[in-house]
Chains A and B, each alone.
Chain A
Amino acid sequence: MKGIGVTIIYLFSLLPFTKAQEALALIEKVKTKIDQVKDYEAAGTMKTNVSFLKVPMADVTIYFKNPDKLKIKNEKGISLVPKGAASMSLSNLMANRKFTAIPAGDDKVEGIPVKVVKLLPMDENSDIVLSTLYIDEARLLIIKARTTTRENGTYELIMQYGKFATYALPDKAIFSFNTKEYKLPKGITFDYDDGSDKIKSKEALKTNKGALEITYNNYIINKGVADAIFK
């Protein structure tokens, strides 16, 4: 009897270890899928929702080079791209970093059942403190990633997959991040004061949050992207 109890306790004690192994294995599989793409050039539209920005939707070109180079360009006009948009690539989260994978159970994101895995970088000097990945195990796709950093607070990436799911490339990516407060003194701007109530917008300004939504229309994958583009 004692033997069975010890075995059960032993087996249970192995559970976390097993779960961790499973988590790591999952991460490895996802990473392999992501690493298919060495580079891409994508055409898309970008919607910016930053509290102090009022900008139109823009046609943009997104350039990516493994593991962590990402650039959003507006060839025809101007795009005000938030700093840290380079963190929009998933491979960034896992590239060249040694981390500990901790399973954190199951969840549902947008109705899709996901496995939650937390990544803790082993490098103490890393800016990233913690990344939480919500993975669609069946398709080996990361649906959501929430990352906490030392310098730039917490940001979140939500991906919607469609045509390019086999390459782990999203149809739509929503990137939420923190912004610094923006204010220019009236003595410089000489704005027109139309006398309207500005309370609402002032409340919105206090949130210091922003979101970038990119809809990808097509990708040119692994055809080579020059380094000069990312300067």
Chain B
Amino acid sequence: MLALLRIELLKIFRRPRTYISFAAIAAMVGIVQVALKADGISYLQFLMGGMKDSIEIPYEVVLNGYLVCFIILNLLLIHVPLLVALVAGDSIAGEANMGTLRLLLTRPVSRTQFMLMKFTACVIYTVMLLVWMALLSLLVSIILFGTNDMIITRNDVVEQLQRNDILWRYIAAFAYAAVALTTVAALAFLLSIFADNSIGPIVSTISIVIVFTILSEMQIPIYDKTIKPWLFTSHMLAWKGFFYSKSNGEGEAIAGSIENFPAIMRSLSVLLGYIILFVGSAVMIFRKKDILS
């Protein structure tokens, strides 16, 4: 099994297009960091416009590495799933397109094993992409902008986290983001078995993620109660929940706390459920599929 996994990883990491994803992340993160370094104050004034009339905001210290990382993660909500879909959507469709699928499936390896190893390789790629992103967006931001307390502007409340109460939250958030991105990978993987060309699955995955994200965020009552709790995109944002702390009822943030940990765990189980559904379906369908490519 391990040999199979190594083969799949070799295929992913020997392909030039894989490195485009890593370069793209470096570019996107770098662009945001440069922009914020040049004129982060203006952006903060926009972000914190809702309270600038009531509160004295020390922008220079508010713009620190922790906040910059948060801003970067916020801005790359759609972009990173796209890069994940790029590899996952190519898993099976790419092999079919290259003509290598028919060769692989005549080997003494069960289709289930084959699919699971392919998906595991996608997950490893996703995690590596995320680690790369974490290093660039957190570590480099800290180097460029230093550290301080973090101010988060939510839609109806402004949170402040103390400097020594932040790093563990980022670790938890990145771990959660890995699961969220794996969900996107699982969807792309499922769609990949239906195509002979990876463009179809990649574009379909991204379209679904975009449409579901819009439905998740649009605040239309009829969707809020019915569809929204079931959309995996609604739960992909739960990594932010690690940055929402509990209040003591008098506006005071309780250090080291999480506002609604059970909700995050519920969202996590929804995502895990979707991963199992997508991958399970992919394996079940693929086992019976006639290979005509």
A pairs with B: yes
Where the two chains meet, the residues of A that have a C-beta atom closer than 8 Å to any C-beta of B are 47-57, 74, 76-83, 85, 179-180, 182-196, 198, 201-202, 205, 210-211
B128 interface residue, CB < 8 Å from A? no
Minimum CB–CB distance from B60 to chain A (whole Å) comes to 10
B155 interface residue, CB < 8 Å from A? yes
Within 8 A of A (CB), among B11-65: 47, 49-51, 53-58, 61-62
B8 interface residue, CB < 8 Å from A? no
Minimum CB–CB distance from B237 to chain A (whole Å) comes to 4
A196 with B155: CB separation less than 8 A: no
Residues on B with beta carbons closer than 8 Å to the beta carbon of A53? 51, 55, 157-158, 160, 251
B240 interface residue, CB < 8 Å from A? yes
B51 with A52: CB separation less than 8 A: yes
Which of B55, B156, B240 touches A81 (beta carbons < 8 Å)?
B55
Q: Which of B146-154, B185-193, B276-284 contacts A (4 or more CB under 8 A)?
A: B146-154
B148 with A48: CB separation less than 8 A: no
A194 with B238: CB separation less than 8 A: yes
A182 with B229: CB separation less than 8 A: no
Which of B50, B58, B154 touches A191 (beta carbons < 8 Å)?
B154
B54 with A83: CB separation less than 8 A: yes
B156 with A182: CB separation less than 8 A: yes
Residues on B with beta carbons closer than 8 Å to the beta carbon of A83? 53-56
Minimum CB–CB distance from B52 to chain A (whole Å) comes to 9
Which of A81, A182, A194 touches B56 (beta carbons < 8 Å)?
A81
B155 with A194: CB separation less than 8 A: no
B241 with A54: CB separation less than 8 A: no
Residues on A with beta carbons closer than 8 Å to the beta carbon of B238? 192, 194
B263 interface residue, CB < 8 Å from A? yes
Against A, the Cβ 8 Å flags (1 = close, 0 = not) of B215-241 are: 011010000000011000010011111
Complex A-B, nearest 8 residue pairs according to Cβ-Cβ distance, in ascending order = A194-B263, A49-B251, A55-B160, A192-B240, A78-B149, A77-B149, A192-B237, A179-B54
What are 21 of the A-B contact pairs (CB < 8 Å)? A53-B55, A54-B160, A54-B245, A55-B252, A56-B252, A56-B253, A56-B254, A78-B160, A79-B58, A81-B55, A83-B56, A182-B50, A184-B153, A186-B217, A187-B217, A191-B154, A191-B237, A192-B267, A194-B267, A195-B263, A201-B157
Interface centre among B56, B151, B162, B244 (most CB of A within 10 A): B56
A184 with B154: CB separation less than 8 A: yes
B255 with A183: CB separation less than 8 A: no
For the complex, give the distance between the alpha carbons of A50 and B157 in Å.
Answer: 10
Residues on B with beta carbons closer than 8 Å to the beta carbon of A54? 157-160, 245, 247, 251-253
A48 with B241: CB separation less than 8 A: no
Residues on A with beta carbons closer than 8 Å to the beta carbon of B254? 56
For the complex, give the distance between the alpha carbons of A113 and B237 in Å.
Answer: 55
B293 interface residue, CB < 8 Å from A? no
For the complex, give the distance between the alpha carbons of A220 and B162 in Å.
Answer: 27
Q: Which residue of A lies closest to B261 (CB)?
A: A194
B156 with A201: CB separation less than 8 A: yes
Which of B55, B61, B260 touches A194 (beta carbons < 8 Å)?
B260
Minimum CB–CB distance from A22 to chain B (whole Å) comes to 39
For the complex, give the distance between the alpha carbons of A48 and B259 in Å.
Answer: 18
B158 with A190: CB separation less than 8 A: no
Q: Which residue of A lies closest to B216 (CB)?
A: A193
Q: Which residue of A lies closest to B49 (CB)?
A: A184
Residues on A with beta carbons closer than 8 Å to the beta carbon of B160? 53-56, 78, 80
For the complex, give the distance between the alpha carbons of A198 and B217 in Å.
Answer: 16
B264 interface residue, CB < 8 Å from A? yes
Residues on A with beta carbons closer than 8 Å to the beta carbon of B77? 190
Minimum CB–CB distance from B179 to chain A (whole Å) comes to 14
A184 with B151: CB separation less than 8 A: no
B79 interface residue, CB < 8 Å from A? no
Against A, the Cβ 8 Å flags (1 = close, 0 = not) of B160-193 are: 1111000000000000000000000000000000
